[in-house]
Structure 1
Amino acid sequence: MDIILASASVRRAELLKKITSNFKIKVSDFKESDIPFSGNCGDYVMNLARGKAMDICSSVKKPAAIIGCDTIVYFNGKVLGKPKDSVEAFQMLSDLSDNTHEVYTGIAVINTETQKISTEYVCTQVKFSKLSDVEITKYIETGDPFDKAGAYGIQGAASLFVEELKGCYYSVVGLPVNKLYFMLREMGVNL
């Protein structure tokens, strides 16, 4: 059975390699804006992940396990997506400074042979140290915040901002490998 990652994320591909090197990538064209946020972060990321996985189902001809994922940052009652510009990135990072926020990653696995769909999510709490305006500006100038939810990547230069983490580090990067490993096993995927 093929394993297909429905994501263009280099970080997710790197993490999936921790489980198996035998997978393919098919980028999903699913529009995240099609799923409204109803206030439940877990449901939201699972629905987004399911949408991404379902989007490529029709293009897969051989039996496969399709993996869809989505990650959001949640702080103060708001979902922080990818910043549209440096002003928004600065605001997000200023808000997260000296505060604890939550990172939710949803996973959907579809077995195209059995049509079974499994969805799960992981929530991790991340505490940032107090950041100066200069630190935030320097980080934004690296260009790193612009393709990441919450305007930061924990695996890069923003690792310096993280004072404490409760939960799964890999979930914050974008793919909770432990959760995915057991989901794939439960779906009958031999790894």
Structure 2
Amino acid sequence: MRRIILASASPRRKELLKQLIGDHFVIYPSSYEEPLQTELNPEELLMKHSVEKARDVAKHFNSGIIISADTSVICDGEILGKPNLPERAEKMLEKLSGRKIQVITGLTVLDLDSAQEISESESTNVWMAKISKEQISAYIRTGEPLDKAGAFAAQGKGAILVEKIEGDFFNVVGLPLFRLGKILERLGVSVFEDELS
């Protein structure tokens, strides 16, 4: 069985990968620190982060396939990270209200056995509903927005804020499963096998 390594501590990515390949993977979070300032556009930056995360984890393994991803919400060309504070979450949600935004993931799959590194990006369009101040306050009180990129979780209570999605829903959650499955196939790994080979 090929060893699959998820270079992420995200519980959402863990659940999504489990949905795709079962329990046939280990988790080894990257210690790569993302630079604060960069000249890259959002898509290039997310791709760079995913590549660096995969390469960082690769130092600790001799064989296997490493999967890393970096997902962000983009509004007006600006990356919206995790707000961490209620005041920041409020400002983000006010900005997103009634807007069309993008969720972009940089995805890297690094096959240590064949020395192949495949990096691609996935972009999903999301139309946010108009959100009242009362809704924003109530949503923030749930605590859900604080550790979510863009201050909402489409797979959680934040679903009520999302009017329409064009593209890969799983990308919005944090791991574009269709694209990942296609990359794994190119590396000779079938997600339909009980024992990944």
Question: Under TM normalisation by the shorter chain, which class is it?
Answer: over 0.9
Partner amino acid, structure 1, of 2:49 = L
**CA deviation after TM superposition for structure 1 residue 164, in Å:** 0.8
- How far does the alpha carbon of each residue in 1:21-78 deviate from its partner, in whole angstroms, 9 at most, with x for none? 2111111111122672522x322211111111111111113x2000000101110121
Q: How many equivalent residue pairs? A: 189
- How far does the alpha carbon of each residue in 1:60-108 deviate from its partner, in whole angstroms, 9 at most, with x for none? 13x2000000101110121101113111110100000011100001110
**CA deviation after TM superposition for structure 1 residue 152, in Å:** 0.9
Task: Give the aligned partner of residue 87 of structure 1.
Answer: 87
Partner amino acid, structure 1, of 2:70 = D
Q: Determine the C-alpha separation between the residues in 1 that align with 2:25 and 2:138.
A: 37
Q: Determine the C-alpha separation between the residues in 1 that align with 2:39 and 2:181.
A: 27
Q: Determine the C-alpha separation between the residues in 1 that align with 2:184 and 2:44.
A: 20
Task: Give the aligned partner of residue 100 of structure 2.
Answer: 100
**CA deviation after TM superposition for structure 1 residue 4, in Å:** 0.5
Maintained 8 Å contact 2:124/2:172: yes
Maintained 8 Å contact 1:105/1:174: yes
**CA deviation after TM superposition for structure 1 residue 115, in Å:** 1.6
Q: Determine the C-alpha separation between the residues in 2 that align with 1:35 and 1:180.
A: 28
Q: Determine the C-alpha separation between the residues in 1 that align with 2:34 and 2:153.
A: 20
Q: Determine the C-alpha separation between the residues in 2 that align with 1:186 and 1:43.
A: 23
- What secondary structure sits across from 2:105 in the alignment? strand
Q: Determine the C-alpha separation between the residues in 2 that align with 1:34 and 1:130.
A: 31
Q: Which runs of 4+ in 1 moved over 6 A?
A: none
The equivalences for 1:1-191 within 5 A come to 1-21=2-22, 22-33=24-35, 36=38, 38-39=40-41, 41-61=42-62, 63-191=63-191
Partner amino acid, structure 2, of 1:98 = G
In structure 1, list runs of 5 or more residues that go unmatched.
none
Maintained 8 Å contact 1:4/1:23: yes
Normalised to the residue count of structure 1, the TM-score between the two structures is 0.94
Q: Cα RMSD over matched residues?
A: 1.3
- What secondary structure sits across from 1:114 in the alignment? coil
Maintained 8 Å contact 2:84/2:147: no
What fraction of aligned residue pairs are identical, expressed as a percent? 37
Q: Determine the C-alpha separation between the residues in 2 that align with 1:16 and 1:70.
A: 14
Partner amino acid, structure 2, of 1:138 = A
Q: Determine the C-alpha separation between the residues in 1 that align with 2:39 and 2:173.
A: 21
